[in-house]
Each structure stands twice: as C-alpha cells, then as structure tokens.
A and B are shown apart, each in its own frame.
Chain A
Amino acid sequence: MKNKILVYGAGAIGRGYIPWIFPSDRYELSFVENNSELRGLLQKQKEFTTYRTKSGQYVKLICEFKDCFDLGEEDPTDYDGIITAVGARQVYALIDSLSNVDCPIVLFENDSKIPLELSELTGKSNIYFGVPDVITSNTAPAEMLEQDPLSIVTEDGVCFVEDGAVDLGGDISYVSQEELSKQWTAKLYLHNTPHCIAAYLGAMHGKTYLHESMARDSIYSIVEGAMNEMSRTLIQLFDLDKEFVEWYSKKELARFSNVLLYDPVLRVAREPFRKLGLHDRLIGAAQLSLSVGVMPNNLTLGIMSAFLYDEEHDEDFHIKILMNSLEKEKFLKLIINVNPHEALYKLLVKKWDESIDTLKGI
C-alpha cells in the first residue's frame, strides 16, 4: 500500500521536485492548488511531466497523481504526510487546514522561522522545516510545453528535513536540527543570496531567464563577487570548511548558469521586500559580512539592484513607488528598517549614487 502525500502548491517545487523525492512506486501524491487555471489543467490531465537535468541532459518523469483540490476542498487528515511549497507569505493561509493534522508536516518555504511560527499558531508539534537544495524552474522550454503544457524542469538536487519527520520517508536526508541549520545557512547565503542578485541584475537588463543573466560577464562578475564575500563571511562565522565552501560556491555558479533549466528571472526576483528582510539573504547577508570585517561591495550592488526592481505585476511592485517618493535615508530607515547608526546604513547611503551608476553601466 502506498503512502498518501498531500502537497500544498503545485508550482515549481511542488510539481517539479516533489515527484522525484516521493516516487510513484511508493507514494500517491495529491495536490492543493489555488490558481484556478493551473488547477483546472491538472484536474483535466491527471498527470504532468517533470524533467530533471543531469549530466547536461534531461531525464523525463511522468507524474500521475490522485487528486488536485482547491484550498478548503481537501481533507488533510486523510494523508500520511503533508508538504507545503506555496511561498513564505502564502503559507499562513494554511493555518486552519493544518490545525487538525497529526501526520508529519514539512514546510519547503525558504524561511527557517516559519515552522516555529506555524507551530505556535496551530499548537502543533508535528511541523518541520525542509531545505530542498535544488533549483526548480516553474516552466520549461517551448518544445516541452508543446508536448505537455504542465511541463516543468528541475535540477538533480538534494533535500534535507528535520529528523522528527523521518516517518515520511522518501529520498530525503533526515538530519538533526543542528545539521539542518548549517545546511540552511549555506543555502540561504551561498545559494539564495547570489541567486536573487543574478535575478535582479538580469531584470535590470531585460533578461528572461537566469542563465541569460549569468551569460553576461559583468553580471557574472558581481554574482561571483557576492558569492566570494559570503564564502569568506561564512568561513569566519561558522568555521565552515574552506574547501567545502569553495566547492559549494563553484557548484552554485554553475547551477545558476544551467542553460537547461530555463529558470525565470521573475520567479527568482519576486517579492523583493521579503528578500530584503533584516535577517534575509540580502540585508542579512551584508550585515553578516560587515560583522566579520568583509566589505560587502558586491552584495551592496545586489541590494541596490533589488531596490531598483521594477515589475508592475510583482506583489511588491510598490518598492518602485517608495524608491521614487523617498530620499535614500528615509527609504532605508522607514522602509528597509536599517538603523541609521549601523555601518550598513552608512555604507549604502555613501555608495547609493555610485552603485546606481555602476548598475546602469553593467
């Protein structure tokens, strides 16, 4: 008998990566998706295609699933495991749904604070953090989409989850909270930080996909520079092995440049205010680097490129309104919440105009 897994979110991770770690010979997947167009297509097709890139080639998997529900139609108590991959802001809409569930609930939400917050809000202790260390596009090349409009492309990644959820099984590394924290730190600052910088720089220059952005030498150079700044920071802060960090960094740059992934700039750059959180991948990263005496020159350019993100359909489209309305000091203090007494504030103010000129010229 197969284990039944309910997946909230049939986007990049949900559709692209989950079927690879919960194979169909052992697991039966169902989805909850609130995008009516996507849900309609899933309900109509009852299957979709996910491609994994490996050794420069695609490996194809057709995922047949049991159900696809609208939010509220599902009965989450009817499953052996719950996965969420809906987005860090959207996951709070699931509080009611998760409050009566006793099976392991794993959150793939790119924010280590959320499992604790949801545990408090729901009163449940079966909520765990997961780190899928993988880049998954939310689309695919045109020829794949012609064959199956639900096609999606993912990397051959690895997945770490807190060991409390071990009953869930699957192709997952279950690790201690301490080990997961180390993996998350590495992912947040060596993957997420340069990844989103590549996206913001690409957006500034009209690129559609990450690999197109990374193909531009001037962008690659800033992304690599930010990666180096974070590598030096993490080695000093967490006593990480230098060889491991260098290997990880090199691997990451290759991942961002993967021409098979078709990872959209819009996906990676979305919600800049979340990424500019005080402890998140941009401001948080620069604060860490300053704390150990590493000058965040490239990180600063990355932060500025996020400030300048101009996408009218993004949830955080109003970043442009605020950048246009406010003087830089006010923007940093009131909107980004950086304290004027901090070194990062002074650095950003000092380099503001120079950074904008540099970014325009890349």
Chain B
Amino acid sequence: MILNRLEIAINAAVSAGDLLMDHYGKVYGIKNKESLRDVVSEIDELSESKVMSILQESDPGCTVLTEEKGLIGPDSDSRWIVDALDGTVNYIHNIPFFCVSISYWVDNRPSIGAIYNPYSGDIYYAEKGVGCFVNQKRLHLLDVELGNNLTAMAFSGKAYNPSMRSTEFGIFGQLNDLSQGCLRTGSAAMNLSYLSHGKFSLVMGKANKLWDVAAGLLIAEEAGADVKFNMTDKQKHLVDYIAATPSSKKKIYTDIDMSYFDL
C-alpha cells in the first residue's frame, strides 16, 4: 500500500515507539554530548535506525534531518525532521515522559507532524490546514487564561550563551508565578503536544533543537494555539518559540520582558 506523508509519519512514529517500549527499563550505553543532560543512548540510535528504514522505504530518495546523524539524502528544502527519542534523560531514568517526533517541512515551514508517546499510547498528529488529532479525537484548543493552567518551558543547551542562564531562569520563575506552575518536563515535543491537548496554556523555549519541536509546532498551531517561532542560527537548527492560547500569550507579553527570545 502507498502511504501519504502523514500516514508515513504516524507509522514510523508508532513503530519506533514500540521499539522504545521493548527496551524501556533496561540499561544502555549512555554518552554525554554537549552537557550532562544532553545525552545519547544506544536506544536513540536504534530508534532512529527504525525510523530511517521506514522513511527510506516509504519515501525513497527523501531528505531527512535527524538528531543523531544530521542531514541524510539530497540537499532539499523539503525534508523529514526526526527526533527518534525526545526525552532521552527521562527515558534512561524510567520516567515515562518521552516520545518519537517526526515531521515533514517544506521551505522552512512544517506541513506534517506526528508525535507518539508509547507509554501512554497517545498519537498526536496534524497536517497543515487540515487539523490536529490525538488518536481518534480532533483537538480544538480552548482559550484558557495563563493563571488557570500549567505552562512549560524548555531551556537552551548549557553550552548556549552561559552568561544568559540567569535571565532564562528568571523568566522561568516569572512564568511559574503567573500560572498554576511552570514545568521543565524534559521533552519539548511533549510540551507542545500537551498544549494542543489543553493540558498546558503556554509553552516556550530558547535555542531548542529543531528536531525537538518540528512536529510539535505544527500540532500546536493546528489545534488552535497562537504559535510564533524563529530559527536563530545559520544552520537553522536552533529555534526560539512561543506557543500559547491567545489570552496567555497576550498576558505574557504584557507581564514579562520577552526580549531574551529572538522572535
């Protein structure tokens, strides 16, 4: 059967997610990358191989940007963007908040997104202009105010502009006080999925890796969130973003100095 790109994304996310669950709770070789919490395990690479094999079989000759192996295939502005395990630190510590994130971008904008949390069995998926869903349910974000819900923030890597870390923590604190709490969950993709599901009212991040948020930005937008993002480096691998209910976004721009974010 020939699958369309959304079907390919869902199929690959769920297949890789099953593999993650097969290995969940077992110890694997762990290597540090940029910092103590920027780690890669053998399972990241296994999961990525699984996704790659499905993408290359279902969409021959495609271009794929992955977390572990970088750009694969011909240089093209139409490309798959894959994080085969977002939330690796959670995963290796047996905290069930991780996912597979797969998206398809055209001209630096997302057109397809699928995120699968294999522990909960939730598949979030969206197509530009079509809508956003979790499993069988269509998602429509209600305009819940900032003070009536949770929020989440994903931090930049430790190596990214260390002199500004206190600014980042300051914003985190302000957001924590303006809402029912600001979480640092360890998975930016899941943050955006939870926003689409109404569990968070605002999600933002500084210098996050594109593969972490590539699917989630579309999923949040298609659910009705107000989404703004900007790729801030020459390679277009680092993203500043805010995704929120309209009233939450308005509130944060009134109450917090957002100039730290390049939006």
A334 interface neighbour in B11, B133, B135, Cβ under 8 Å: B135
Nearest chain A CB to B112 CB, angstrom units: 11
Q: How many Å lie between the Cα of A325 and that of B14 in the bound state?
A: 9
Given the known interface contacts A333-B121, A334-B121, A334-B123, the answer about A321 and B135 at a Cβ–Cβ threshold of 8 Å is no
Q: How many Å lie between the Cα of A39 and that of B226 in the bound state?
A: 32
Nearest chain A CB to B241 CB, angstrom units: 26
Q: Does B171 sit at the interface, judged by CB under 8 A?
A: no
Q: How many Å lie between the Cα of A322 and that of B3 in the bound state?
A: 11
Q: Does A291 sit at the interface, judged by CB under 8 A?
A: no
Q: How many Å lie between the Cα of A318 and that of B133 in the bound state?
A: 9
Query: How many residues of A sit at the interface, in one of the four size bands?
Result: 10 to 19
Q: Does A335 sit at the interface, judged by CB under 8 A?
A: yes
Q: Is A324's CB under 8 angstroms from B1's CB?
A: yes
Contacts of B136 in A (CB 8 A): 273, 316, 318-319, 322, 335-336
Nearest chain B CB to A326 CB, angstrom units: 6
Q: Does B262 sit at the interface, judged by CB under 8 A?
A: no
Which applies to chain A's interface (DSSP): helix, strand, loop or mixed? helix
Contact with B along A325-343 (1 / 0, CB 8 A): 1100010011110000000
Q: Does B7 sit at the interface, judged by CB under 8 A?
A: yes
Contact with A along B1-15 (1 / 0, CB 8 A): 101101110110010
Q: Does B138 sit at the interface, judged by CB under 8 A?
A: yes
Q: Does A171 sit at the interface, judged by CB under 8 A?
A: no
Q: Is A325's CB under 8 angstroms from B10's CB?
A: yes
Q: How many Å lie between the Cα of A334 and that of B123 in the bound state?
A: 8
Q: Is A322's CB under 8 angstroms from B138's CB?
A: no
8 A Cβ contacts from B132-169 to A: 133, 135-138
A324 interface neighbour in B3, B121, B137, B138, Cβ under 8 Å: B3
Contacts of A336 in B (CB 8 A): 136
Contacts of A335 in B (CB 8 A): 135-136
Q: Is B6's CB under 8 angstroms from A321's CB?
A: yes
Question: Smallest CB-CB separation from A89: which chain B residue?
Answer: B138
Q: Is B121's CB under 8 angstroms from A326's CB?
A: no
Q: Is B7's CB under 8 angstroms from A324's CB?
A: yes
Q: Is A325's CB under 8 angstroms from B121's CB?
A: no
Q: Does A75 sit at the interface, judged by CB under 8 A?
A: no
Contacts of B138 in A (CB 8 A): 315, 318
Contacts of B125 in A (CB 8 A): 321
Contacts of A334 in B (CB 8 A): 14, 121, 123, 135
Q: How many Å lie between the Cα of A335 and that of B10 in the bound state?
A: 13
Nearest chain B CB to A154 CB, angstrom units: 30
Given the known interface contacts A321-B6, A324-B3, A325-B7, the answer about A330 and B14 at a Cβ–Cβ threshold of 8 Å is yes
Q: How many Å lie between the Cα of A324 and that of B3 in the bound state?
A: 7
Contacts of A324 in B (CB 8 A): 1, 3-4, 7
Count chain B CB atoms within 10 A of each CB in A316, A318, A319, A326 and give the residue with the most. Answer: A318
Nearest chain A CB to B6 CB, angstrom units: 6
A326 interface neighbour in B4, B6, B10, Cβ under 8 Å: B10
Contacts of B123 in A (CB 8 A): 334
Nearest chain B CB to A338 CB, angstrom units: 12
Nearest chain B CB to A327 CB, angstrom units: 8
A325 interface neighbour in B3, B18, B137, Cβ under 8 Å: B3
Q: How many Å lie between the Cα of A334 and that of B11 in the bound state?
A: 13
Count chain B CB atoms within 10 A of each CB in A318, A324, A325 and give the residue with the most. Answer: A325
A322 interface neighbour in B1, B8, B10, B121, Cβ under 8 Å: B10
Contacts of A273 in B (CB 8 A): 136-137
Q: How many Å lie between the Cα of A321 and that of B133 in the bound state?
A: 11
Contacts of B10 in A (CB 8 A): 321-322, 325-326
Q: How many Å lie between the Cα of A322 and that of B136 in the bound state?
A: 8
> Which residue numbers of B lie inside 8 Å of A, CB to CB?
1, 3-4, 6-8, 10-11, 14, 18, 121, 123, 125, 133, 135-138
> Which residue numbers of A lie inside 8 Å of B, CB to CB?
273, 315-316, 318-319, 321-322, 324-326, 330, 333-336
> Which 10 pairs, one residue from A and one from B, show the smallest C-beta to C-beta distance?
A325-B10, A325-B7, A273-B136, A325-B11, A324-B7, A334-B121, A335-B136, A335-B135, A321-B7, A318-B133
Residue contacts A-B, CB under 8 angstroms, 9 given:
A315-B138, A316-B136, A321-B6, A321-B7, A325-B3, A325-B14, A330-B14, A334-B121, A334-B123
